[in-house]
Amino acid sequence: MIDNSESKAFVQVFEIPPYRLGKLSGLTFGVKDLIDIEGYKTGGGNPTWENSHPPATCHAICVEQLLSHGAICKGKTTLDELAYSLLGENFFYGTPLNPKAPDRVPGGSSSGSASAVACGQVDFALGTDTGGSVRVPANNCGIVGFRPSHGRISLAGVVPFAPSFDTVGIFAKTEKICADVARVLLANEKKRGALKEVLILRDAFAMSDKEVQAALEPVLKQIRQRYPCREVVLEEIFGQGVTFETLRKIYRTLQWAEVWSSLGAWIEDVRPSFGSLIAANFESAKKCDRTQIADAIQKREEIKNKFNTFLGESSLLCLPTRALLAPKKGSVSIHSPGNHTSTPSFTPLAGLASSPELTLPYGHSQEGVPVGISFLASQGNDELLLQQFEDGFD
C-alpha cells in the first residue's frame, strides 16, 4: 500500500465505523469531497467553497447505505475544483498519484478516489460522474469504474453540478467488489436475464489512437471468443449524420447551462479564486447560449430513446473508454493544442442516454500505461451489465 503522504489521494483522513455487519463488512472506502460526511465541510476541491460553507449536518444517503452494510469510511478524497475537469490536477491541492503511470495524470474530477483505490489505500471509493469523472480516472489509473444509470443511486447530500447528468459512481480494485457495492447502492440483488450479444462500436475503435487500438486488440479477441458479438457503427444507432462530435456538442450545451444554473450565483457573489483551466471552464459555462437549451433537450431525448431501444434489454455496447492515453502531468493548459476538450470523446454517450457504463482495466500500452475498455447497457439495466463481469475476465 502507498501511504497518503505519497499518493495525496485524501484531503482528510479519519475513520467512521459501520453501523452494523453486512454485505460489505471488512471493506474500506473513501468519499469524494463533493459528497457530504456529517461533521465535516464538503470542500469541493476549492478553498473558497470550503470556507464559505458550513459542515454537513448528516451523511449523504449513499454513505449511509454503505455504513449500514458494514463498510468502513476512511476519509475524504481530493478532486478537481468543483468537479470541473477531467485531468485530476488541482491548482490548490496538487495532483494525486497515478501509481500505474506516475508521470501521467490520474484523471478527474474524482482523482483522489481513483488514486486511493489504485494505491491500495481503500478497497473501493465513491466518486461522481457527470461527463466522465469516474470513467476517465478509472481508465487512467487501471482500476474498475462504474457509472450507474442516471437516477438509480441517490444524489441527496452531493453538491449539484449538472443535475440531469450527475451520478454517484464507484471505483474498485476488483470487479466483484464493484458489483457488491453497486448492488448495495442500487438496492437491488436481483439478476437480469441472459446477455444476447455484445455490440462492438467499430468507429469508436477506429477513431482511437493507435496505442489504444493496439492495447485493446487482444482484449477484443477475448471478447469475441467469450460472447456472441456483432460490429455496429454510430449511425446505425442514431441515424445518418450523427457523430461523436454531434453528441459532444449536445452534451456541452446542456452541461454548461446546468453548471451555471447550479453554481453561477455563488461564483458571481463570492468571486472565488480558480486555477486557470477551471476558470476558463466556468467562463464558458457563463457565456453559453441559453437559447439553445430547449433544442438540446429535445435532441437528448431523441438520442436517449434511440440508444435504449437499440440496445434493448439484453445487449451491451463495447468501446474504448478513452480515445487517447492519459496525458502526461503538466502537459495540458488553456493554451495547449492538445487540450483534452478538443480530442475525440466517447464519454458523453452514457450521459445523454442516461445509461450505465462499466470501464474495465484490461489493456495497457507498450509503456505500461493503462487502457480501459467500456461496456454500456440500456438505461436501468445496471444489473445486466454488472453480472457479466463480476467474476473477472480472463
Going by CATH, does the domain composed of 11-186 fall within 3.90.1300.10?
Answer: yes
Q: What are the φ and ψ backbone dihedral angles of 76, each rounded to 5 degrees?
A: -110, 135
**pLDDT score recorded for residue 343:** 63
Q: What mean pLDDT is predicted for residues 222-233?
A: 96
Provide the mean pLDDT of the chain.
Answer: 96
197-244+292-389 CATH fold: Amidase signature (AS) enzymes (3.90.1300)
Q: In one letter, which amino acid is 383?
A: E
**pLDDT score recorded for residue 338:** 43
Lowest mean pLDDT among 188-192, 209-213, 250-254, 352-356: 188-192
**Exposed, middle or buried by CB within 10 Å (0-12, 13-18, 19+), for 249?**
middle
Q: Which residues lie below 8 Å from residue 126, measured CB to CB, with a gap of 6+?
A: 29, 30, 31, 32, 35, 62, 63, 66, 113, 168, 169, 170, 171
Give the catalytic positions in this structure: 32, 109, 133
**pLDDT score recorded for residue 52:** 96
Alpha-carbon distance of 360 to 48, in angstroms, equals 35
Q: Where are the domains of the chain?
A: 11-186, 197-244+292-389
Whole-number percent of the chain with pLDDT over 70: 97
Alpha-carbon distance of 267 to 39, in angstroms, equals 25
**pLDDT score recorded for residue 333:** 77
DSSP secondary structure letters along 93-146 = TB----TTSTTB---SSSHHHHHHHHTTS-SEEEEEESSSTTHHHHHHHTSEEE
Alpha-carbon distance of 103 to 315, in angstroms, equals 37
Q: Strand, coil or helix: what is 297?
A: helix
Rounded to two decimals, what is the model's pTM? 0.97
94 bridge partner residues? 90
Q: What are the φ and ψ backbone dihedral angles of 25, each rounded to 5 degrees?
A: -55, 135
**pLDDT score recorded for residue 337:** 44
What pLDDT, in 10s, does the model give residues 249-299? Answer: 999 999 999 999 999 999 999 999 999 999 999 999 999 999 999 999 999
* Site of grid cell 488553456: 334
Query: How far is CA 309 from each of CA 210, 324, 386, rounded to the nearest angstrom?
Result: 32, 29, 20
Q: Which residues lie below 8 Å from residue 297, measured CB to CB, with a gap of 6+?
A: 254
Beta strands in the chain (DSSP E): 10-16, 28-32, 72-77, 124-129, 144-147, 167-172, 197-201, 229-232, 315-320, 357-364, 370-376
Question: 11-186 and 197-244+292-389: same fold?
Answer: yes
Whole-number percent of the chain with pLDDT over 90: 94
What pLDDT, in 10s, does the model give residues 286-340? Answer: 999 999 999 999 999 999 999 999 999 999 999 999 999 999 999 987 655 444 4
What pLDDT, in 10s, does the model give residues 131-173? Answer: 999 999 999 999 999 999 999 999 999 999 999 999 999 999 9
Q: How far is CA 272 from the centre of its chain?
A: 26
What pLDDT, in 10s, does the model give residues 109-134? Answer: 999 999 999 999 999 999 999 999 99
